[in-house]
């Protein structure tokens, strides 16, 4: 569900992801839709959604604040719309991934994602052999439909984001100084060198 690509600038981290995406498309006719996210380029409200929606007692102002969607919800809503527009037999081969720059990532958000990884990995292992579960999108549609399609993530501001089971996260970083032991215990690591 999640892989951290760790290495200094220009050591091929992004190229690795491009090669994997191309390989999946050639081998399984799978399209990986990747959204790049750098937390430093967004305000906290854009990243997490409305943080102080209930600071006012005015119901109208609260409702207006809650209409603002966070970045992840916008991306996932677009992904679901695109997925539903495809023929049924092709939907399971359309995958969303997030590429996240973790240098300044909020550790609370990272630890929230860990819960999603743990639940998703356990859920998939209930239905697939260990050596096959990461490629569940290549399985038949009937098998894929047995998965629970959504798992919730609670953001630091309390918003709940529904994450599809065929969602993957990639973290690009030069070092793991900001990563918690909990986070590192649930992800895969790819180390690149000059």
Q: pLDDT at position 23, please? A: 93
pLDDT band at 127 (very low <50, low <70, confident <90, very high): very low
Residues 51-69: tens digit of each pLDDT: 666 677 777 776 776 677 7
Confidence of residue 27 (pLDDT cuts 50, 70, 90): very high
Here the tokens at position 181 are 């032991």
Identify how many contiguous H helices and E strands the chain contains and give both numbers. 8, 7
**Mean pLDDT (whole number) for 138-159:** 58
Query: pTM here?
Result: 0.73
Per the CB < 8 A criterion, the answer to whether 176 and 184 are in contact is yes
β-sheet bridge partners, residue 162: 152
Q: How many CB atoms lie within 10 A of CB 24?
A: 18
């Amino acid at each position: 569900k999640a892989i951290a690509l760790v290495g200094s600038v220009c050591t091929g981290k992004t190229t690795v992801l491009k090669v994997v995406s191309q390989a999946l498309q050639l081998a399984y006719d799978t399209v990986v839709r990747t959204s790049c996210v750098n937390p430093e380029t967004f305000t906290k409200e854009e990243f997490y959604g409305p943080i102080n929606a209930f600071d006012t007692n005015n119901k109208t102002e609260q409702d207006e604040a809650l209409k603002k969607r966070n970045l992840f919800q916008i991306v996932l809503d677009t992904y679901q719309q695109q997925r539903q527009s495809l023929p049924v037999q092709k939907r399971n081969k359309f995958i969303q991934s997030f590429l996240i720059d973790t240098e300044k990532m909020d550790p609370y958000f990272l630890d929230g994602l860990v819960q999603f990884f743990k639940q998703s990995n356990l859920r998939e292992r209930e239905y697939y052999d260990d050596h096959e579960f990461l490629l569940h999108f290549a399985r038949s549609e009937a098998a894929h439909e047995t998965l629970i399609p959504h798992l919730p993530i609670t953001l630091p501001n309390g918003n709940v984001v529904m994450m599809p089971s065929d969602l993957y996260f990639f973290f690009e970083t030069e070092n793991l100084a900001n990563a918690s032991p909990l986070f590192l215990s649930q992800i895969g690591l790819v180390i690149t060198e000059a």
